[in-house]
Structure 1
């Protein structure tokens, strides 16, 4: 980077017909930090000069001046970090400064993950500029949002016309600026889509230069089958694949990542571009309705299924099997985050709620309470099921 110059004419310079120039001062000068420039090169000790909100010089700037000089000796100076998986887009209008991200050094966020995104994408991206948001924002187009718009929550394969309509929505989203296609195959309605549907839509995203990011169909007993499906989409389309927040739930499945990582290495060796991201904590966060089997929530038909004794019992049996596998029937591992119908439930576990009601803990009591919360309006919850 060439320094900007401030030139002034001295009496000698005027006599000689020359201009005397000195480098312009910086707004901020960071001195002596270990600079990581994002290229993958080793850190080097250097000064960093900033002007008008941009880095303009890096190097030995020992004689230079600035309005604000900060000694960062012993610290790392790095480009802003990228958070590849956020669900914060709805908050950007209310808090465009995104302080919780910026103060951690996160300057770019990726949203539209897990199959959920705005549709159409263009107007939302335009609104980000109007809100003057602090971080850079990249968006996936969500497969679940696309399928819901075309098919609602139908538990079936798409017709040729429906698939063509979904392809058109993905094509338009990519033209609007999406970075790729995301899926949430654990969630309704993505869970009802066959692999072939994902392959078709991934081809559209890949043709526009996009990638495929997936919250896989399963992250516990069938995690290896889910990884295999995700890799198949990459293999058949050529699209780069990102497995979202890779993890394995349920104590009996701990350690199976040894096998899942081996599958990824084999796919890489065969030419598939695949990576995964992972978060550093032992819980997940989503709707408590996800414990209810997906088939029971298709076409908004939960109430009808619960009204019939046979299907109600099937729902309860499947819920209890899931809670036993994921949480070892321990209701303290399911913590309510937000319940729109009752703010006082925030932060309480299902064990707390059962204790307050003087209800003994049992698989039946846990599943009945979850059904009650969903039918009253639903809650988001924190699931403590990883190690």
Structure 2
């Protein structure tokens, strides 16, 4: 009887040992960067049921699938803090992000979040998503819903409606509120309106991300405004796609970063995200004075000679002092629905095509014409590399592409849509040595996860979801350029989303396991 009991005990021990050392997937021999910013370690990962079950020496363990990560960096999946996910219904694989190593993207930036909020997320639940996604509720969306495009403050009843929209979105899973105070109709809002709405998000443990009211000549005051919102609404703030626009503002990042440090020293929670390029992207209308667009009456106003002269003067001012960079060659078209032949060309090129003299005045006339035709997506080469590096070095800076989901052959997007994260790793880490590799990964993963309140993601820890990016630190690089943007990066070898391999040896597997993540239901 004693021998039988010993045999049963031995069988149980063997069975338990085998169970503990059997996984759906094992990643062997990788150099693991855990997302904390600490130095890496040589470790193996055992993954079962979509989560990291064990970290350590697993060379003798059993698994259905083994990835040999020898010579590769194993990191948490990258988190895109600022993404334009609007085409996700047509591009649910999110390939332009997935191939960069992104496993979570935060949508609804610049005040443009979806509404109705919950039903939109419910519709995404029905798709096979390539990445995990979460959303912010957008201030511009809220204002447009309640006030249309009117240049006025809301009355008490209207403000209550706007606050209710924020509350509803937070109840339905929003991570916070975004503003686009440079854009219509957000530019018409006063500070107290933004603070009131931000308080609702704050009461629900949300964050505030802001496309600042100005990123050129008014940048310093705009940063101060965001800091004031953080103070008065008691809310964590992200200065999103932080930059200094226009030649006159080059070098101003030293002042904005000092403001951030000063605010943090007195207990305010201010952070930033950025994309690693010296060019921005938005619509051609950013060059047009906002008053000219109020009430959707731009077409009527330019028919009146006096008003057109004022509009044109405002455009000339912006070309000389803001995003225009004083040179029409710095203004490049990315998407022109009414004339695709202009995509990739500059405002200077368009003047030549039209047989017009290369003057700022003639450029302003074509800006008016472009807006009358329906507008354009536009790249503005008006930032300084020194500011880009300076902002990247700051310990409170995260990474966000500000890219729009893209696919080859469709338009002429900013290269950030394809290359943001590999560019940080390849160009700014390996080539320029602006920051270390472990710091870069921390900015892309753990720091971002903590900022937005992602649970069990952003770090490589036992019990955390297996969102993992495996890349070659010696070869990873962006390939997308301003002249030839539709190119996927190199060096991103494997990407796991919720434990499933979605990129293997640099190619998509067709297995898309992304999820819609709601902040209040993770």
Query: The TM-score by the shorter chain falls in which range?
Result: over 0.9
| DSSP 3-state at the match of 2:59 | coil
Kept in 2: contact 1:31–1:71 (CA 8 A): yes
1:68 is aligned to 2:59: no
Q: Which residue of 2 aligns with 1:16?
A: 7
Q: Which residue of 2 aligns with 1:156?
A: 152
1:353 is aligned to 2:353: no
- Pick closer, same or farther for the CA change 1:216–1:13 going to 2, 3 Å: farther
1:146 is aligned to 2:142: yes
1:217 is aligned to 2:213: yes
Alignment RMSD (CA, Å):
1.7
Q: Which residue of 1 aligns with 2:285?
A: 289
TM-score by length of 2: 0.69
| DSSP 3-state at the match of 2:261 | helix
Kept in 1: contact 2:27–2:67 (CA 8 A): yes
How far apart are the structure 1 equivalents of 2:268 and 2:183? 26
TM-score by length of 1: 0.93
Q: Which residue of 2 aligns with 1:368?
A: 365
Q: Which residue of 2 aligns with 1:28?
A: 25
How far apart are the structure 2 equivalents of 1:14 and 1:264? 68
1:37 is aligned to 2:27: no
How far apart are the structure 2 equivalents of 1:309 and 1:74? 66
Q: Which residue of 1 aligns with 2:225?
A: 229
How far apart are the structure 2 equivalents of 1:140 and 1:15? 59
Q: Which residue of 2 aligns with 1:7?
A: none
Bigger mean CA offset, 376-385 vs 64-73: 64-73
Kept in 2: contact 1:32–1:46 (CA 8 A): yes
How far apart are the structure 2 equivalents of 1:356 and 1:312? 24
How far apart are the structure 2 equivalents of 1:331 and 1:183? 29
How far apart are the structure 2 equivalents of 1:122 and 1:278? 28
Shift of 1:14: 8.9
How far apart are the structure 2 equivalents of 1:107 and 1:15? 48
| DSSP 3-state at the match of 2:306 | helix
Kept in 1: contact 2:112–2:141 (CA 8 A): yes
Bigger mean CA offset, 179-188 vs 355-364: 355-364
| DSSP 3-state at the match of 2:255 | helix
How far apart are the structure 1 equivalents of 2:72 and 2:214? 41
Kept in 2: contact 1:329–1:362 (CA 8 A): no
Bigger mean CA offset, 34-43 vs 103-112: 34-43
1:54 is aligned to 2:45: no
Shift of 1:75: 2.1
Residue-by-residue CA offset, 1:232-277 (whole Å, 9 max, x unaligned): 0001111001000111111111111111111111111111100001
Shift of 1:307: 2.0
Kept in 1: contact 2:227–2:237 (CA 8 A): yes
Shift of 1:181: 0.8
- Which has the greater radius of gyration? 1
Shift of 1:13: 7.5
| DSSP 3-state at the match of 2:89 | coil
Give unmatched runs, 5+ long, in structure 1: 1-11
How far apart are the structure 1 equivalents of 2:207 and 2:142? 16
Kept in 2: contact 1:333–1:385 (CA 8 A): yes
| DSSP 3-state at the match of 1:38 | coil
Aligned residues: 375
- Pick closer, same or farther for the CA change 1:252–1:39 going to 2, 3 Å: closer
How far apart are the structure 1 equivalents of 2:4 and 2:35? 43
Q: Which residue of 2 aligns with 1:267?
A: 263
1:84 is aligned to 2:75: no
Q: Which fold has the larger relative contact order, with Cα–Cα distance below 8 Å and residues 6 or more apart in sequence?
A: 2
Kept in 2: contact 1:37–1:78 (CA 8 A): yes
Q: Which residue of 1 aligns with 2:479?
A: none
Match runs of 1:130-141 below 5 Å: 130-141=126-137
- Pick closer, same or farther for the CA change 1:98–1:14 going to 2, 3 Å: farther
Shift of 1:40: 4.5
Shift of 1:158: 1.5
Match runs of 1:120-139 below 5 Å: 120-139=116-135
| DSSP 3-state at the match of 2:152 | coil
How far apart are the structure 1 equivalents of 2:221 and 2:62? 60
1:311 is aligned to 2:302: no
Counterpart among 332, 343, 360 of residue 329 in structure 2: 332
| DSSP 3-state at the match of 2:357 | coil
Residue-by-residue CA offset, 1:21-47 (whole Å, 9 max, x unaligned): 224543432212122223454322111
How far apart are the structure 1 equivalents of 2:117 and 2:250? 38
How far apart are the structure 1 equivalents of 2:62 and 2:211? 50
How far apart are the structure 1 equivalents of 2:326 and 2:38? 49
- Pick closer, same or farther for the CA change 1:145–1:258 going to 2, 3 Å: same
How far apart are the structure 1 equivalents of 2:93 and 2:55? 27
Counterpart among 196, 204, 210 of residue 200 in structure 1: 196
Kept in 1: contact 2:181–2:210 (CA 8 A): yes
